[in-house]
Amino acid sequence: MVRFKLKRIVVMKVNVVRLIVLITVFLGFTVNVNATNAAVAREFPIKGFHLDLRIQAMKMPALKAFAEKLSQNGINTLVMEWEATYPYEKHAVISNKYAYSRAEVKSFIAYCDSLKIDVIPLQQSFGHVEYILKHYRYKDLREDQKDYSQVNPIKEEQCKALFADLFADMVSTHKSPYFHIGGDETYLLGRSPESKRKADSLGMGRLYGDYIKMLCELVVALGKKPVVWADIALKYPDALKSLPKQTIFIDWNYGWELDRFGDHKKLMKSGFEIWGSPAIRSYPDNYFLTDWAKHFNNIKTFIPQGKELGYKGMVMTSWSTSGIYTQIAESHSDFIDLHAIRRVYPISGFNLLIDGFLNAVASEKPFQPNEFVEKYAVEKYGFSKADAKTFWNALKLAPYEVNQGKVNKPNFTVQQLGDSALFTLNTLRKLKPTKNINEFSHYLLMSNIRYNYLVTMEVEVALNQPTFKLTDAAGLWKKLAALNTAEVDKDFKELNASLLHDDEIKEETRLRNFRYIDLVARLNKLK
Protein backbone atom coordinates (compact mmCIF):
# COMPACT_ATOMS: atom_id res chain seq x y z
CA MET A 1 0.00 0.00 0.00
CA VAL A 2 2.85 2.40 0.87
CA ARG A 3 4.67 1.53 -2.36
CA PHE A 4 1.49 2.24 -4.38
CA LYS A 5 1.10 5.72 -2.78
CA LEU A 6 4.73 6.55 -3.49
CA LYS A 7 4.30 5.60 -7.13
CA ARG A 8 1.18 7.80 -7.36
CA ILE A 9 3.19 10.75 -6.06
CA VAL A 10 5.87 10.14 -8.67
CA VAL A 11 3.26 9.92 -11.42
CA MET A 12 1.80 13.29 -10.44
CA LYS A 13 5.16 14.98 -10.94
CA VAL A 14 6.13 13.61 -14.34
CA ASN A 15 5.20 15.07 -17.70
CA VAL A 16 2.33 13.81 -19.86
CA VAL A 17 4.42 11.40 -21.93
CA ARG A 18 5.94 9.69 -18.87
CA LEU A 19 2.49 9.60 -17.27
CA ILE A 20 1.14 7.59 -20.20
CA VAL A 21 4.10 5.20 -19.96
CA LEU A 22 3.65 4.62 -16.23
CA ILE A 23 -0.11 4.08 -16.58
CA THR A 24 0.60 1.57 -19.32
CA VAL A 25 2.96 -0.32 -16.97
CA PHE A 26 0.45 -0.38 -14.12
CA LEU A 27 -2.76 -1.10 -16.06
CA GLY A 28 -1.68 -2.61 -19.36
CA PHE A 29 -1.54 -1.63 -23.01
CA THR A 30 -5.33 -1.70 -23.50
CA VAL A 31 -5.86 1.44 -21.39
CA ASN A 32 -3.36 3.37 -23.49
CA VAL A 33 -5.08 2.38 -26.72
CA ASN A 34 -8.51 3.36 -25.39
CA ALA A 35 -7.20 6.70 -24.18
CA THR A 36 -5.73 7.37 -27.61
CA ASN A 37 -8.99 6.39 -29.33
CA ALA A 38 -10.94 8.67 -27.01
CA ALA A 39 -8.68 11.58 -27.94
CA VAL A 40 -9.13 10.83 -31.62
CA ALA A 41 -12.91 10.62 -31.20
CA ARG A 42 -12.95 14.16 -29.88
CA GLU A 43 -11.22 15.46 -32.99
CA PHE A 44 -13.06 16.04 -36.27
CA PRO A 45 -11.00 14.68 -39.20
CA ILE A 46 -12.93 17.12 -41.40
CA LYS A 47 -12.81 20.71 -40.16
CA GLY A 48 -14.60 22.65 -42.84
CA PHE A 49 -16.16 25.87 -43.99
CA HIS A 50 -18.90 26.29 -46.60
CA LEU A 51 -18.87 29.34 -48.87
CA ASP A 52 -22.11 30.31 -50.59
CA LEU A 53 -21.52 32.36 -53.76
CA ARG A 54 -25.12 32.39 -54.98
CA ILE A 55 -25.04 36.15 -54.44
CA GLN A 56 -22.19 38.35 -53.17
CA ALA A 57 -19.56 36.64 -55.31
CA MET A 58 -16.15 37.34 -53.78
CA LYS A 59 -13.27 38.76 -55.78
CA MET A 60 -10.56 36.15 -56.28
CA PRO A 61 -7.89 37.89 -54.11
CA ALA A 62 -10.45 38.07 -51.27
CA LEU A 63 -11.32 34.42 -51.80
CA LYS A 64 -7.68 33.40 -51.51
CA ALA A 65 -7.12 35.57 -48.46
CA PHE A 66 -10.15 33.96 -46.81
CA ALA A 67 -8.79 30.47 -47.55
CA GLU A 68 -5.42 31.45 -46.06
CA LYS A 69 -7.10 32.62 -42.86
CA LEU A 70 -9.00 29.33 -42.59
CA SER A 71 -5.81 27.34 -43.13
CA GLN A 72 -3.94 29.28 -40.46
CA ASN A 73 -6.68 28.32 -38.01
CA GLY A 74 -6.75 24.59 -38.67
CA ILE A 75 -9.47 24.34 -41.34
CA ASN A 76 -8.67 21.57 -43.82
CA THR A 77 -11.81 21.56 -45.98
CA LEU A 78 -13.67 24.16 -48.00
CA VAL A 79 -17.08 23.37 -49.49
CA MET A 80 -17.55 25.69 -52.48
CA GLU A 81 -21.10 26.40 -53.57
CA TRP A 82 -19.99 28.11 -56.78
CA GLU A 83 -23.46 28.05 -58.31
CA ALA A 84 -23.51 30.37 -61.37
CA THR A 85 -20.03 31.75 -60.67
CA TYR A 86 -18.59 28.47 -61.97
CA PRO A 87 -17.37 28.62 -65.61
CA TYR A 88 -19.27 25.71 -67.16
CA GLU A 89 -18.05 24.57 -70.57
CA LYS A 90 -20.86 22.53 -72.15
CA HIS A 91 -23.51 24.53 -70.31
CA ALA A 92 -22.09 28.04 -70.46
CA VAL A 93 -25.55 29.63 -70.33
CA ILE A 94 -25.69 28.77 -66.61
CA SER A 95 -22.67 30.94 -65.71
CA ASN A 96 -23.46 34.51 -64.65
CA LYS A 97 -21.64 37.79 -65.19
CA TYR A 98 -19.57 37.27 -62.02
CA ALA A 99 -18.34 33.83 -63.06
CA TYR A 100 -14.66 33.13 -62.54
CA SER A 101 -12.52 31.98 -65.45
CA ARG A 102 -11.40 28.36 -65.53
CA ALA A 103 -7.85 29.56 -64.98
CA GLU A 104 -8.99 31.38 -61.81
CA VAL A 105 -10.79 28.30 -60.48
CA LYS A 106 -7.77 26.08 -61.13
CA SER A 107 -5.48 28.67 -59.57
CA PHE A 108 -7.71 28.82 -56.49
CA ILE A 109 -7.77 25.03 -56.14
CA ALA A 110 -3.98 24.91 -56.49
CA TYR A 111 -3.60 27.67 -53.90
CA CYS A 112 -5.85 25.83 -51.45
CA ASP A 113 -3.88 22.66 -52.17
CA SER A 114 -0.71 24.49 -51.12
CA LEU A 115 -2.50 25.43 -47.89
CA LYS A 116 -3.52 21.79 -47.39
CA ILE A 117 -7.20 22.66 -47.81
CA ASP A 118 -9.36 20.19 -49.70
CA VAL A 119 -11.87 22.05 -51.89
CA ILE A 120 -15.13 20.12 -52.26
CA PRO A 121 -17.34 21.34 -55.12
CA LEU A 122 -21.04 21.67 -54.31
CA GLN A 123 -23.29 21.24 -57.33
CA GLN A 124 -26.95 21.51 -56.42
CA SER A 125 -28.67 18.78 -58.42
CA PHE A 126 -32.23 18.44 -57.11
CA GLY A 127 -33.59 21.48 -55.25
CA HIS A 128 -32.16 25.01 -55.23
CA VAL A 129 -31.46 24.86 -58.96
CA GLU A 130 -33.23 28.08 -60.01
CA TYR A 131 -29.98 29.31 -61.53
CA ILE A 132 -30.16 26.37 -63.97
CA LEU A 133 -33.88 25.99 -64.56
CA LYS A 134 -34.47 29.71 -65.20
CA HIS A 135 -32.88 29.14 -68.63
CA TYR A 136 -35.40 27.79 -71.13
CA ARG A 137 -32.80 25.33 -72.42
CA TYR A 138 -33.72 23.32 -69.28
CA LYS A 139 -37.43 24.16 -68.98
CA ASP A 140 -38.55 20.57 -69.57
CA LEU A 141 -36.71 19.48 -66.40
CA ARG A 142 -38.77 21.70 -64.09
CA GLU A 143 -40.98 20.07 -61.48
CA ASP A 144 -43.18 23.16 -61.65
CA GLN A 145 -43.36 25.67 -64.49
CA LYS A 146 -44.01 28.53 -62.06
CA ASP A 147 -41.49 27.60 -59.37
CA TYR A 148 -38.08 26.83 -60.85
CA SER A 149 -36.42 25.66 -57.67
CA GLN A 150 -36.47 21.91 -58.33
CA VAL A 151 -35.96 19.37 -61.09
CA ASN A 152 -38.58 16.72 -61.78
CA PRO A 153 -37.18 13.45 -60.37
CA ILE A 154 -39.27 11.45 -62.85
CA LYS A 155 -37.24 12.99 -65.71
CA GLU A 156 -34.34 10.87 -64.52
CA GLU A 157 -32.64 10.22 -67.87
CA GLN A 158 -32.68 13.88 -68.93
CA CYS A 159 -31.45 14.99 -65.51
CA LYS A 160 -28.79 12.31 -65.54
CA ALA A 161 -27.45 13.60 -68.85
CA LEU A 162 -27.31 17.18 -67.54
CA PHE A 163 -25.71 16.44 -64.21
CA ALA A 164 -23.28 13.93 -65.66
CA ASP A 165 -21.94 16.85 -67.70
CA LEU A 166 -21.86 19.27 -64.77
CA PHE A 167 -20.30 16.75 -62.37
CA ALA A 168 -17.61 15.77 -64.87
CA ASP A 169 -16.86 19.44 -65.51
CA MET A 170 -16.34 20.18 -61.81
CA VAL A 171 -14.34 17.00 -61.25
CA SER A 172 -11.98 18.15 -64.00
CA THR A 173 -11.05 21.25 -61.99
CA HIS A 174 -11.26 19.91 -58.42
CA LYS A 175 -9.03 17.29 -56.79
CA SER A 176 -11.18 16.47 -53.77
CA PRO A 177 -12.15 12.84 -53.09
CA TYR A 178 -15.63 14.22 -52.22
CA PHE A 179 -18.39 15.71 -54.36
CA HIS A 180 -21.39 17.49 -52.79
CA ILE A 181 -24.67 17.07 -54.70
CA GLY A 182 -26.86 19.22 -52.42
CA GLY A 183 -30.25 17.51 -52.09
CA ASP A 184 -31.74 19.73 -49.38
CA GLU A 185 -35.13 21.42 -49.11
CA THR A 186 -36.80 19.62 -52.01
CA TYR A 187 -40.16 21.09 -51.09
CA LEU A 188 -41.75 20.49 -54.50
CA LEU A 189 -41.59 16.70 -54.25
CA GLY A 190 -44.74 15.27 -55.81
CA ARG A 191 -45.86 18.58 -57.29
CA SER A 192 -46.01 17.50 -60.95
CA PRO A 193 -48.67 14.94 -61.99
CA GLU A 194 -46.10 12.26 -62.84
CA SER A 195 -44.19 12.78 -59.57
CA LYS A 196 -47.43 12.63 -57.63
CA ARG A 197 -48.35 9.33 -59.27
CA LYS A 198 -45.06 7.76 -58.20
CA ALA A 199 -45.33 9.18 -54.68
CA ASP A 200 -48.90 7.91 -54.34
CA SER A 201 -47.87 4.49 -55.61
CA LEU A 202 -44.47 3.91 -53.99
CA GLY A 203 -44.17 6.63 -51.37
CA MET A 204 -42.36 9.97 -51.16
CA GLY A 205 -39.23 8.24 -49.89
CA ARG A 206 -38.89 6.28 -53.12
CA LEU A 207 -39.54 9.39 -55.21
CA TYR A 208 -36.70 11.16 -53.42
CA GLY A 209 -34.46 8.14 -52.90
CA ASP A 210 -34.45 6.82 -56.48
CA TYR A 211 -33.35 10.16 -57.83
CA ILE A 212 -30.70 10.75 -55.14
CA LYS A 213 -29.42 7.22 -55.79
CA MET A 214 -28.92 8.08 -59.46
CA LEU A 215 -26.96 11.22 -58.54
CA CYS A 216 -24.82 9.39 -55.98
CA GLU A 217 -24.02 6.66 -58.49
CA LEU A 218 -22.88 9.30 -60.99
CA VAL A 219 -20.47 10.61 -58.37
CA VAL A 220 -19.21 7.15 -57.45
CA ALA A 221 -18.63 6.40 -61.16
CA LEU A 222 -16.33 9.43 -61.24
CA GLY A 223 -14.28 7.95 -58.39
CA LYS A 224 -15.63 10.35 -55.76
CA LYS A 225 -17.62 10.05 -52.53
CA PRO A 226 -21.05 11.71 -52.71
CA VAL A 227 -21.96 14.23 -50.01
CA VAL A 228 -25.64 15.07 -49.35
CA TRP A 229 -27.46 17.46 -47.00
CA ALA A 230 -29.35 15.25 -44.53
CA ASP A 231 -32.70 17.00 -43.99
CA ILE A 232 -34.79 15.16 -46.60
CA ALA A 233 -33.13 11.82 -45.84
CA LEU A 234 -34.14 12.35 -42.21
CA LYS A 235 -37.70 12.96 -43.35
CA TYR A 236 -37.78 9.87 -45.58
CA PRO A 237 -35.34 7.38 -44.00
CA ASP A 238 -36.42 4.57 -46.33
CA ALA A 239 -34.59 6.53 -49.05
CA LEU A 240 -31.30 5.57 -47.40
CA LYS A 241 -31.56 1.87 -48.13
CA SER A 242 -30.44 1.87 -51.74
CA LEU A 243 -27.74 4.55 -51.63
CA PRO A 244 -24.06 3.74 -52.16
CA LYS A 245 -22.33 3.11 -48.86
CA GLN A 246 -19.71 5.74 -49.75
CA THR A 247 -22.39 8.42 -49.34
CA ILE A 248 -21.80 11.01 -46.62
CA PHE A 249 -24.62 12.99 -45.01
CA ILE A 250 -24.26 16.46 -43.54
CA ASP A 251 -26.67 17.04 -40.65
CA TRP A 252 -27.23 20.79 -40.70
CA ASN A 253 -28.50 22.10 -37.41
CA TYR A 254 -28.85 25.81 -36.66
CA GLY A 255 -30.04 25.52 -33.09
CA TRP A 256 -32.89 23.02 -32.97
CA GLU A 257 -33.61 19.51 -31.71
CA LEU A 258 -31.96 16.63 -33.59
CA ASP A 259 -35.34 15.28 -34.69
CA ARG A 260 -36.46 18.51 -36.39
CA PHE A 261 -36.45 16.90 -39.85
CA GLY A 262 -37.18 13.30 -38.84
CA ASP A 263 -36.05 10.39 -36.66
CA HIS A 264 -32.38 11.17 -36.09
CA LYS A 265 -31.69 7.74 -34.62
CA LYS A 266 -32.44 6.11 -37.96
CA LEU A 267 -29.79 8.24 -39.64
CA MET A 268 -27.30 7.30 -36.92
CA LYS A 269 -28.06 3.60 -37.40
CA SER A 270 -27.84 3.77 -41.20
CA GLY A 271 -24.10 3.12 -41.30
CA PHE A 272 -23.34 6.22 -43.38
CA GLU A 273 -20.57 8.63 -42.42
CA ILE A 274 -22.06 11.84 -41.01
CA TRP A 275 -20.76 15.38 -40.74
CA GLY A 276 -22.43 18.29 -38.96
CA SER A 277 -23.05 21.91 -39.94
CA PRO A 278 -23.90 24.94 -37.79
CA ALA A 279 -24.31 28.42 -39.34
CA ILE A 280 -22.99 31.96 -38.95
CA ARG A 281 -25.60 33.48 -41.30
CA SER A 282 -29.09 31.98 -41.53
CA TYR A 283 -32.68 32.76 -40.52
CA PRO A 284 -33.64 35.24 -39.09
CA ASP A 285 -30.66 37.21 -40.42
CA ASN A 286 -31.11 39.73 -43.19
CA TYR A 287 -29.55 43.08 -43.99
CA PHE A 288 -31.31 44.66 -41.03
CA LEU A 289 -30.81 41.97 -38.40
CA THR A 290 -28.06 39.64 -37.19
CA ASP A 291 -28.88 37.37 -34.28
CA TRP A 292 -25.37 37.12 -32.87
CA ALA A 293 -26.35 35.26 -29.69
CA LYS A 294 -28.26 32.60 -31.64
CA HIS A 295 -25.28 31.76 -33.83
CA PHE A 296 -22.84 31.68 -30.92
CA ASN A 297 -25.18 29.38 -29.00
CA ASN A 298 -25.42 27.18 -32.11
CA ILE A 299 -21.63 26.86 -32.12
CA LYS A 300 -21.54 26.23 -28.37
CA THR A 301 -24.17 23.48 -28.48
CA PHE A 302 -23.83 21.66 -31.78
CA ILE A 303 -20.07 21.19 -32.02
CA PRO A 304 -19.80 19.15 -28.79
CA GLN A 305 -23.01 17.37 -29.74
CA GLY A 306 -21.42 16.39 -33.04
CA LYS A 307 -18.39 15.04 -31.19
CA GLU A 308 -20.55 12.99 -28.85
CA LEU A 309 -22.45 11.56 -31.81
CA GLY A 310 -19.20 10.55 -33.50
CA TYR A 311 -19.56 12.82 -36.52
CA LYS A 312 -16.47 12.73 -38.74
CA GLY A 313 -16.66 16.35 -39.79
CA MET A 314 -17.95 19.78 -38.83
CA VAL A 315 -18.55 22.29 -41.63
CA MET A 316 -19.62 25.85 -40.88
CA THR A 317 -22.20 27.18 -43.33
CA SER A 318 -22.51 30.85 -44.23
CA TRP A 319 -25.57 31.58 -46.36
CA SER A 320 -25.61 34.74 -48.44
CA THR A 321 -29.32 34.19 -49.15
CA SER A 322 -32.12 31.81 -48.19
CA GLY A 323 -32.19 30.31 -51.68
CA ILE A 324 -35.78 31.44 -52.28
CA TYR A 325 -36.28 33.50 -55.43
CA THR A 326 -39.02 35.51 -57.09
CA GLN A 327 -39.38 36.30 -60.76
CA ILE A 328 -38.69 39.61 -62.45
CA ALA A 329 -41.28 39.08 -65.14
CA GLU A 330 -41.46 40.32 -68.71
CA SER A 331 -44.90 38.82 -69.17
CA HIS A 332 -47.09 36.17 -67.59
CA SER A 333 -45.25 33.46 -69.52
CA ASP A 334 -41.71 34.82 -69.71
CA PHE A 335 -39.34 36.57 -67.35
CA ILE A 336 -36.02 38.36 -67.26
CA ASP A 337 -34.37 37.05 -64.11
CA LEU A 338 -34.87 35.70 -60.60
CA HIS A 339 -34.40 37.87 -57.54
CA ALA A 340 -33.00 36.47 -54.27
CA ILE A 341 -35.59 37.31 -51.62
CA ARG A 342 -33.44 37.40 -48.49
CA ARG A 343 -30.01 39.03 -48.49
CA VAL A 344 -27.62 39.40 -45.58
CA TYR A 345 -24.66 41.60 -44.76
CA PRO A 346 -21.51 40.39 -46.58
CA ILE A 347 -19.19 37.90 -44.92
CA SER A 348 -16.69 40.74 -44.32
CA GLY A 349 -18.66 41.68 -41.21
CA PHE A 350 -18.56 38.29 -39.52
CA ASN A 351 -14.96 37.72 -38.43
CA LEU A 352 -16.16 37.53 -34.83
CA LEU A 353 -18.41 34.54 -35.52
CA ILE A 354 -15.95 32.91 -37.90
CA ASP A 355 -13.20 33.09 -35.30
CA GLY A 356 -15.63 31.74 -32.70
CA PHE A 357 -16.22 28.68 -34.85
CA LEU A 358 -12.50 28.25 -35.55
CA ASN A 359 -11.81 28.40 -31.82
CA ALA A 360 -14.60 25.99 -30.87
CA VAL A 361 -13.89 23.35 -33.51
CA ALA A 362 -10.18 23.24 -32.67
CA SER A 363 -10.46 23.22 -28.89
CA GLU A 364 -11.13 20.36 -26.47
CA LYS A 365 -12.46 22.82 -23.90
CA PRO A 366 -16.17 23.74 -23.78
CA PHE A 367 -16.81 26.85 -25.87
CA GLN A 368 -18.10 29.77 -23.81
CA PRO A 369 -19.47 32.56 -26.07
CA ASN A 370 -19.36 35.33 -23.45
CA GLU A 371 -15.76 34.61 -22.54
CA PHE A 372 -14.73 34.26 -26.16
CA VAL A 373 -16.34 37.51 -27.37
CA GLU A 374 -15.01 39.55 -24.48
CA LYS A 375 -11.50 38.18 -24.93
CA TYR A 376 -11.75 38.77 -28.69
CA ALA A 377 -12.77 42.40 -28.14
CA VAL A 378 -9.89 42.98 -25.74
CA GLU A 379 -7.29 41.41 -28.04
CA LYS A 380 -8.63 42.53 -31.43
CA TYR A 381 -9.89 46.01 -30.65
CA GLY A 382 -7.81 46.97 -27.60
CA PHE A 383 -10.85 47.36 -25.36
CA SER A 384 -10.81 47.22 -21.59
CA LYS A 385 -12.71 44.29 -20.09
CA ALA A 386 -15.56 46.64 -19.20
CA ASP A 387 -15.77 47.96 -22.76
CA ALA A 388 -15.64 44.41 -24.12
CA LYS A 389 -18.72 43.51 -22.06
CA THR A 390 -20.45 46.68 -23.23
CA PHE A 391 -19.66 45.77 -26.83
CA TRP A 392 -21.09 42.25 -26.51
CA ASN A 393 -24.24 43.41 -24.73
CA ALA A 394 -24.84 46.00 -27.45
CA LEU A 395 -24.56 43.40 -30.23
CA LYS A 396 -27.09 41.11 -28.54
CA LEU A 397 -29.73 43.75 -27.87
CA ALA A 398 -33.29 43.11 -29.16
CA PRO A 399 -32.66 40.89 -32.23
CA TYR A 400 -36.32 40.92 -33.26
CA GLU A 401 -37.88 40.91 -36.72
CA VAL A 402 -40.54 43.19 -38.15
CA ASN A 403 -43.19 41.56 -40.31
CA GLN A 404 -46.22 43.32 -41.79
CA GLY A 405 -45.60 46.23 -39.44
CA LYS A 406 -45.47 44.05 -36.31
CA VAL A 407 -42.51 43.04 -34.14
CA ASN A 408 -42.23 39.30 -33.52
CA LYS A 409 -41.98 39.97 -29.80
CA PRO A 410 -45.10 40.41 -27.63
CA ASN A 411 -45.75 43.95 -26.44
CA PHE A 412 -42.84 45.35 -28.47
CA THR A 413 -43.53 48.15 -30.95
CA VAL A 414 -41.53 49.13 -34.02
CA GLN A 415 -40.72 52.45 -32.35
CA GLN A 416 -39.34 50.67 -29.28
CA LEU A 417 -37.28 48.42 -31.52
CA GLY A 418 -35.94 51.52 -33.27
CA ASP A 419 -35.02 53.00 -29.90
CA SER A 420 -33.08 49.85 -29.00
CA ALA A 421 -31.24 50.02 -32.34
CA LEU A 422 -30.31 53.65 -31.69
CA PHE A 423 -29.05 52.69 -28.24
CA THR A 424 -26.84 49.98 -29.79
CA LEU A 425 -25.56 52.39 -32.44
CA ASN A 426 -24.72 55.11 -29.89
CA THR A 427 -23.08 52.56 -27.60
CA LEU A 428 -20.82 51.32 -30.39
CA ARG A 429 -20.00 54.90 -31.43
CA LYS A 430 -18.75 55.64 -27.92
CA LEU A 431 -16.35 52.70 -27.98
CA LYS A 432 -12.91 53.62 -29.30
CA PRO A 433 -10.99 50.67 -30.74
CA THR A 434 -7.21 51.12 -30.97
CA LYS A 435 -6.69 48.15 -33.31
CA ASN A 436 -8.47 46.64 -36.33
CA ILE A 437 -10.59 49.75 -36.75
CA ASN A 438 -11.85 48.72 -40.19
CA GLU A 439 -13.17 45.44 -38.83
CA PHE A 440 -14.91 47.22 -35.99
CA SER A 441 -16.44 49.65 -38.49
CA HIS A 442 -18.58 46.81 -39.86
CA TYR A 443 -20.49 46.61 -36.55
CA LEU A 444 -21.14 50.33 -36.68
CA LEU A 445 -22.32 50.07 -40.27
CA MET A 446 -24.61 47.12 -39.58
CA SER A 447 -26.10 48.96 -36.61
CA ASN A 448 -26.59 52.10 -38.71
CA ILE A 449 -28.31 50.08 -41.44
CA ARG A 450 -30.60 48.52 -38.84
CA TYR A 451 -31.48 51.85 -37.25
CA ASN A 452 -32.27 53.48 -40.62
CA TYR A 453 -34.42 50.51 -41.55
CA LEU A 454 -36.42 50.63 -38.32
CA VAL A 455 -37.07 54.36 -38.68
CA THR A 456 -38.25 53.60 -42.22
CA MET A 457 -40.53 50.88 -40.86
CA GLU A 458 -41.88 53.24 -38.21
CA VAL A 459 -42.80 55.71 -40.96
CA GLU A 460 -44.35 52.94 -43.06
CA VAL A 461 -46.45 51.79 -40.10
CA ALA A 462 -47.69 55.36 -39.59
CA LEU A 463 -48.62 55.62 -43.27
CA ASN A 464 -50.63 52.38 -42.95
CA GLN A 465 -52.74 53.63 -40.05
CA PRO A 466 -56.44 54.45 -40.71
CA THR A 467 -55.81 57.68 -38.79
CA PHE A 468 -53.15 58.90 -41.26
CA LYS A 469 -53.91 62.36 -42.72
CA LEU A 470 -52.23 64.16 -45.61
CA THR A 471 -51.05 66.79 -43.16
CA ASP A 472 -48.92 64.09 -41.48
CA ALA A 473 -46.89 63.49 -44.65
CA ALA A 474 -44.47 66.38 -44.22
CA GLY A 475 -43.44 65.27 -40.73
CA LEU A 476 -42.91 61.69 -41.84
CA TRP A 477 -40.91 62.84 -44.86
CA LYS A 478 -38.64 64.94 -42.61
CA LYS A 479 -38.08 61.93 -40.36
CA LEU A 480 -36.78 59.93 -43.32
CA ALA A 481 -34.80 62.84 -44.79
CA ALA A 482 -32.93 63.18 -41.48
CA LEU A 483 -31.40 59.69 -41.84
CA ASN A 484 -27.76 59.45 -42.91
CA THR A 485 -28.33 57.06 -45.82
CA ALA A 486 -25.70 58.66 -48.08
CA GLU A 487 -23.06 58.18 -45.39
CA VAL A 488 -24.16 54.57 -44.89
CA ASP A 489 -23.91 53.86 -48.61
CA LYS A 490 -20.44 55.42 -48.75
CA ASP A 491 -19.25 53.36 -45.78
CA PHE A 492 -20.69 50.18 -47.29
CA LYS A 493 -18.81 50.74 -50.54
CA GLU A 494 -15.52 51.51 -48.81
CA LEU A 495 -15.67 48.62 -46.36
CA ASN A 496 -16.59 46.03 -49.01
CA ALA A 497 -14.62 47.30 -52.00
CA SER A 498 -11.97 44.59 -51.72
CA LEU A 499 -14.57 41.84 -51.29
CA LEU A 500 -17.31 42.54 -53.84
CA HIS A 501 -17.41 43.75 -57.43
CA ASP A 502 -18.52 47.36 -58.02
CA ASP A 503 -21.73 46.26 -59.74
CA GLU A 504 -22.54 43.97 -56.81
CA ILE A 505 -22.10 46.83 -54.35
CA LYS A 506 -24.44 49.01 -56.42
CA GLU A 507 -27.05 46.24 -56.57
CA GLU A 508 -26.80 45.44 -52.87
CA THR A 509 -27.17 49.14 -52.06
CA ARG A 510 -30.17 49.56 -54.37
CA LEU A 511 -32.03 46.60 -52.89
CA ARG A 512 -31.15 47.47 -49.30
CA ASN A 513 -32.50 51.00 -49.79
CA PHE A 514 -35.52 50.17 -51.94
CA ARG A 515 -38.13 50.56 -49.20
CA TYR A 516 -36.62 53.81 -47.97
CA ILE A 517 -36.34 55.40 -51.44
CA ASP A 518 -39.89 54.39 -52.33
CA LEU A 519 -41.32 55.89 -49.12
CA VAL A 520 -39.38 59.14 -49.54
CA ALA A 521 -40.72 59.56 -53.08
CA ARG A 522 -44.32 58.79 -52.08
CA LEU A 523 -44.32 61.10 -49.07
CA ASN A 524 -42.70 63.84 -51.14
CA LYS A 525 -45.74 63.70 -53.42
CA LEU A 526 -48.13 63.88 -50.49
CA LYS A 527 -46.55 66.65 -48.41
| DSSP percent split of the chain into helix, strand, coil, nearest 5 | 55, 15, 30
Amino acid identity, residue 384?
Answer: S
284 prior amide bond cis, ω within 30? yes
Q: At what angle do helices 485-496 and 502-512 cross, to 10 degrees?
A: 150
Cα gap 219→223, rounded to integer Å = 7
| This prediction's pTM | 0.90
Number of residues assigned to the chain: 527
Which amino acid type is present at position 23?
I
Taking residue 462's Cβ as centre, other Cβ atoms within 10 Å add up to 18
Question: For 12-21, how does the pLDDT look when each residue is reduced to its tens digit (9 = 90+)?
Answer: 333 433 333 3
CA distance 416 to 455: 10
Nearest residue to 349 (alpha-carbon basis) of 483, 447, 485, 422: 447
The CA-based angle 315-346-184, given to 5 degrees, is 40
In this prediction, residues 77-85 reach a mean pLDDT of 98
CA distance 490 to 498: 14
Dihedrals φ, ψ of 427, to 5°?
Answer: -65, -45
In angstroms, rounded to a whole number, what is the distance separating the alpha carbons of residues 348 and 496? 7
How does residue 42 score in pLDDT terms, banded at 50, 70 and 90? low
For 175-211, the DSSP string reads --SEEE------TTTT-SHHHHHHHHHH-HHHHHHHH
So where are the chain's domains? 2-39, 44-362, 383-526
φ, ψ dihedrals at 120, nearest 5°: -95, 120
365-384: average pLDDT = 98
Cα separation, 24 vs 131, in Å, equals 59
- For residue range 311-347, what is the model confidence (pLDDT) as tens digits? 999 999 999 998 888 888 888 878 888 888 899 999 9
In this predicted structure, the answer to whether residue 186 has a pLDDT above a threshold of 50 is: yes
Q: What is the pLDDT of residues 440-474, one digit of tens each?
A: 999 999 999 999 999 999 999 999 999 999 999 99
| Closest CA relative to residue 64, chosen from 95, 18, 106 | 106
Judged by DSSP in three states, 317 sits in: strand
**Strand boundaries in 325-468, DSSP class E:** 325-329, 335-340, 402-403, 406-407
* Helix boundaries (H) for 279-368: 292-309, 351-362
Mean of pLDDT values over 387-400: 98
User: Letter for the amino acid at 412?
Assistant: F
Average pLDDT over residues 185-207: 96
Helices 193-202 and 204-221: crossing angle, nearest 10°?
100
**pLDDT, tens digit, for every residue of 218-249?**
999 999 999 999 999 999 999 999 999 999 99
Q: What is the mean pLDDT of residues 338-361?
A: 95
Helix axis angle for 514-526 and 437-463, nearest 10°, is: 40
Percent of the chain with pLDDT over 70: 92
240, 272 contact by CB (below 8 A):
yes
| Mean per-residue pLDDT, 120-125 | 98
User: For 477-507, how does the pLDDT look when each residue is reduced to its tens digit (9 = 90+)?
Assistant: 999 999 999 999 999 999 999 999 999 999 9
pLDDT at 439: 98
Residues 79/68, Cβ–Cβ less than 8 Å = no
Strands 335-340 and 325-329: antiparallel
Give the mean pLDDT of the chain.
92
Amino acid at the residue 59: K
The per-residue pLDDT for range 94-106, each reduced to its tens digit, is 999 999 999 999 9
- 39 has pLDDT over 80: no
Q: Please say whether the beta carbons of 467 and 431 come within 8 A.
A: no
Cα(509)–Cα(493) distance, integer angstroms: 9
Say which CATH topology domain 44-362 has: TIM Barrel (3.20.20)
Q: Are strands 402-403 and 406-407 parallel, antiparallel or unpaired?
A: antiparallel
Distance CA 256, CA 274 (A): 18
